[in-house]
Amino acid sequence: MTRDQQALQHELHIEDAINETCPWSGKPISADALTLYSGAVVGFCNPDCRDKFASALRSFEAALQARRVERSGLEQ
């Protein structure tokens, strides 16, 4: 976990989470497995599930970025 993630973890509260169960496992969310999505707190049953979600988001972000670069190249 990076220092930023640790700082973020400290500011997120399980009672603010918009979901009650982990989308991967269906188990109840855990206070040490929270993150932000679209400005809302979302929770997972453990940090591994959260990290799996974070890496999926990064993957989509990278794909979007690549497509933007590709399109801007075509327009020129």
Residues that bind Zn ion (CB under 5 A): 22, 24-25, 44-45, 49
- Report the nearest approach of Zn ion to the CB of residue 74 (Å): 40
User: Which residue, 19 or 25, has its beta carbon nearer to Zn ion?
Assistant: 25
Collapsing DSSP states into helix, strand and coil, what is residue 10? helix
- Nearest in space to 23 (alpha carbons), one of 58, 50, 55: 50
User: Which residue, 22 or 42, has its beta carbon nearer to Zn ion?
Assistant: 22
- Report the nearest approach of Zn ion to the CB of residue 21 (Å): 9
CA 8 – CA 36 distance, rounded (Å)? 9
